[in-house]
Structures are given as structure tokens and as C-alpha cells.
Homo-oligomer: A and B are copies of this chain.
Amino acid sequence: MQIIKTIQWKDDKVIMIDQRRLPLQEIYNAYEDYKGVADAIKHMVIRGAPAIGVAAAMGVALGSLGIGVKTFDEFYKRILRICETLEATRPTAVNLAWATNRMKAVCLLHKDLPIEQLKQRLKEEAMQIQREDIDSCKKIGGFGHVFLENGDSVLTHCNAGSLATAGAGTALGVLYAASAEGKVLTVYADETRPLLQGARLTAWELQKHGMNVTVITDNMAGALMKDGLIKKVIVGADRIAANGDIANKIGTYTVAVLASRHKIPFYVAAPTSTIDLTKKNGSEIPIEERDSKEVTHVLQHQITPDYVNIRNPSFDVTPAELVTAIITEKGVAEPPFEKNLKILAG
């Protein structure tokens, strides 16, 4: 029951729903070369750590089809260049490099195959990554829904749903799984400025799934928690450091601080591909600063005076101490994360 088709491979094209145009328009873009895919990731036609991992893998596969060389060495050099382009699109999510590394490994493992067969193998690997992501969402939902009770009201930030993955989603995957178990939930979605993924995407896909969703501006969550209206928080992650620090959409840290003050459990749902054991803690995770126009404008309409200074960090880091549990496709990590994440990701 895949209600939303975020990314698909079809007739050697990559098809993505254009998330910049949601919720008012439902348009699907077709990409025939890897540069188009890289551009789509950079400009957030597709976003969400797991989804851009799948997109990068498909981008490599698509790019390989256009390589007209005869030797493996030449082929691999071109693959590396394609990977570099795709990896450079977004710095924070680790799933991009995780996916391109898998594609590189496939090349090296099958270096003796004829080039045309190797291209076929890359395509299969991209499909495999997509299938794994669908499966991973299902398992995250399975492990996660036990944390939610019938009647719970749950806050989520940004979009960690079907639109952020190839499957049912991570954080929202948990909500869908709880709902499938018959638990009735009330969901609050932070609108998530600057790009409004909560107001535009989370609200849209929760409605498509028949869930009860209420959109609030990012600055309302604290007041709602104080009034006892929020019982649980669940979010996704773009990168998880070895100590359990979480890089996720800007504003996540604020939600975690508020949840901690109100003694509300704060759950993170993400596939193990999001865990980066090479980063000791969150301070080592690169934080993308995006174009100031995302803040000065909303839907292309200017809201600030001309020439005003802007900050636009796209992510922030939530320290592990504020996280109740990390829900992955391999099981749930609870503190101490240092030890337990290593077991899951190892």
C-alpha cells in the first residue's frame, strides 16, 4: 500500500514528485541524466535523508548509462566524478555518501565484468537500495509503534515521511504503523520554516493517509506543550553521530529542549544508514547554510526589507542527552547511545 510515489526508476529515467510545488500542485519530474538528479537534490525537488540516498544511487546508475568508455579504469574514473557531483549537493545528510559509496563498491567488486553488464549491476544496486529503504521504513514502523498509545497527540517537525524516503517514512512511518494497529492519534506538524516542509509536505501526506493533522507555526509548540496538548515528539534525522547527537532540520533542537522541559519523550526515527560512527559527536557534523532568499521570501514573495542580514542554517544538532530513543530498522537504541548505536550500526 504505497500511497505516495516519491521516487521511481522507469524506462531508464528517474521520476520524482516535485516537492517544491506541493501541496498545491502534484507534478512529477523525469530526469534522464545524473546532472538533473544532482540539481533536483540541490534544489530540493527531493529531500529527506533516506530519499536523497536513493536518489543519489539512482543518479549514479543513470550517470553510468551515459558513459561511453571501454576500460574499467576509465569507467570508474567517470563514476567517481559522478559521485562527487552528487555528494556535493547537500553536505549534512550522510545517506548521500553512504549510497554513492555502495555504488562505488559495486564497481570495484565487479571490475572484471564487461562495462555494459556492470552498468546493469549498478542499476540493480540502486533498485536494491530503494527496496531496502522501503523495507527499512516498514521495520522502523514495527519497532516504533509500541512507543505510541491510542489517543496520543504527537508533535513532528519538518517531514520525515513517505516524501522523505522511498517507503512509508521514518518518523511518520511510525505514526502510520501505530495507526494501522488501530491506535487513533492526533498529529501536530510544525510548519518548519523556511521551506515549510511541515505545512506543505507533512500535512499533505498525513491527509492522504487519512490521519488527523493540525499545522502550527514553529513558535507554537512550546505553548501547546505547556497546555498539555502534546504527549510525544517524533522526528527524523539527517545524520547521527557515534554518541547519539542528532543533526536534523533546523528547529529540531528547540523542540527537544521544549520536550525536555515538559518531560515529553523525544524519539528519533532513522535507518542505520544515517548513523555516522566516524563523527564522535554532533560538533563534527557539517551544517549546510542555504541561500538567504529562503528566509527573505516565502513562495517567491518577499517578506523582509531589502538588504537585511540573514542567517539560514538548514540543520541543527540535538545533543544525545535530550533524546529518549533512536528507532532504526535493526531495533531501538536507548542510552547509553555510544555503546548501543555501535551495536546497531556495526
Contact = CB atoms under 8 A, between A and B. Distances in A.
Given A254-B219, A254-B221, A254-B222, A213 B308 contact: yes
A301 interface: yes
Given A220-B250, A250-B223, A261-B257, A214 B316 contact: no
A217 B193 contact: yes
Specify which of A203, A254, A295, A301 lies most central, judged by the most chain B CB atoms within 10 Å of its CB: A254
A218 B219 contact: yes
Contacts of A311: 188, 214-216, 220, 224
A27 interface: no
B220 A251 contact: yes
Contacts of A299: 298, 301, 303
A309 B213 contact: yes
A254 B250 contact: no
A3 B24 CA distance: 42
Contacts of A317: 223, 226
A295 B222 contact: no
A299 B298 CA distance: 8
Nearest to A219: B251
B215 A308 contact: yes
A29 interface: no
A204 B296 CA distance: 13
A307 B214 CA distance: 10
Interface string A292-306: 000110110111110
Given A295-B217, A316-B226, A24 B308 contact: no
A253 B191 CA distance: 18
Contact of A305 (B190, B203, B212, B217): B203
A151 to B, nearest CB: 17
A238 B234 CA distance: 33
A305 B23 contact: yes
Interface stretch (A62-70, A91-99, A122-130, A194-202): A194-202
A239 to B, nearest CB: 15
Interface in A213-248: 213-224, 226
A36 to B, nearest CB: 27
Nearest to A212: B309
B193 A191 contact: yes
A203 B217 CA distance: 20
A225 to B, nearest CB: 9
A313 interface: yes
Contacts of A192: 219
A1 to B, nearest CB: 20
Given A191-B193, A308-B203, A309-B212, A253 B223 contact: yes
Contacts of A302: 24
Specify which of A190, A199, A212 lies most central, judged by the most chain B CB atoms within 10 Å of its CB: A199
Interface string A167-203: 0000000000000000000001011111010011001
Closest 10 CB pairs of A and B: A219-B251, A222-B254, A223-B316, A214-B309, A23-B305, A193-B217, A218-B219, A298-B298, A222-B253, A199-B304
Interface of A: 23-24, 188, 190-194, 196, 199-200, 203-204, 207, 212-224, 226, 250-251, 253-254, 257-258, 261, 295-296, 298-299, 301-305, 307-311, 313, 316-317
